[in-house]
């Protein structure tokens, strides 16, 4: 079930522009490595925003992943969206250099974006910088908290216990101008 907040004008702002003039980006915060959660988050966000494709998707996990085998099933599901031309670029957040290289070597569709959290890294290693440059990978920084929506906050806001499945942050920019058209969050809860 998808439910919008009252007065949500995201779809209206998106519809004011030709979709070919817009660049959509999603960052998906997953609570575990279940590819069904990834698929659910992408499909619900596409439907909610009434769009057929996305420029880029970055995945992030609540717990740091340093073993590529833990994320292979999620990455494979993400690759399927690229092969279907629903996503142009895919990336991952907060993966250490060695597992990132292992993911790159293993993946059929190579990651084209890596995000590093500024709170855990003062200086990006020169070897990672060189690897990204040599392989045309965008090396980005972010300051998102590890736990995007803590359970304690969720319980207080909703007044009862729910299980957070995923959160998607979406950004919509006008291409070539970098103007932010709209942004927002979607989330999925279970009991």
Please give the pLDDT value at position 4. Answer: 52
Please give the pLDDT value at position 2. Answer: 47
Please give the pLDDT value at position 122. Answer: 67
Please give the pLDDT value at position 36. Answer: 96
The CA distance from 181 to 19, in Å, is 12
Token couple for 160:
């009862």
Q: What are phi and psi of 141, to 5 degrees?
A: -115, 160
- What pTM did the predictor assign? 0.89
Token couple for 184:
């927002």
Q: What is the mean pLDDT of each run of 10 residues along the chain (191 residues)?
A: 58 77 92 94 94 95 79 96 97 92 96 88 84 95 81 81 91 87 90 80
Fold type of domain 22-190:
TIM Barrel (3.20.20)
Q: How does DSSP classify residue 146?
A: S
The CA distance from 45 to 42, in Å, is 5
């Amino acid at each position: 079930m998808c439910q919008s907040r009252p007065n949500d004008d995201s779809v209206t702002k998106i519809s004011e522009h030709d979709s070919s003039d817009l660049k959509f980006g999603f960052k998906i915060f997953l609570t575990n490595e279940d590819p069904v959660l990834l698929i659910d988050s992408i499909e619900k966000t596409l439907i909610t925003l009434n769009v057929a494709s996305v420029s880029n998707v970055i995945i992030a996990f609540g717990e740091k992943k340093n073993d590529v085998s833990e994320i292979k099933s999620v990455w494979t599901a993400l690759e399927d969206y690229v092969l279907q031309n629903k996503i142009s670029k895919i990336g991952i957040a907060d993966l250490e250099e060695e597992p990132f290289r292992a993911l790159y070597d293993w993946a059929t569709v190579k990651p084209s974006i890596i995000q590093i959290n500024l709170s855990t890294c003062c200086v990006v290693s020169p070897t990672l910088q060189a690897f990204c440059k040599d392989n045309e990978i965008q090396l980005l920084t972010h300051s998102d908290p590890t736990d995007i929506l803590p359970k304690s906050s969720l319980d207080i806001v909703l007044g009862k216990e729910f299980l957070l499945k995923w959160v998607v942050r979406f950004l919509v920019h006008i291409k070539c101008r970098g103007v932010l058209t709209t942004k927002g969050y979607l989330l999925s809860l279970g009991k």
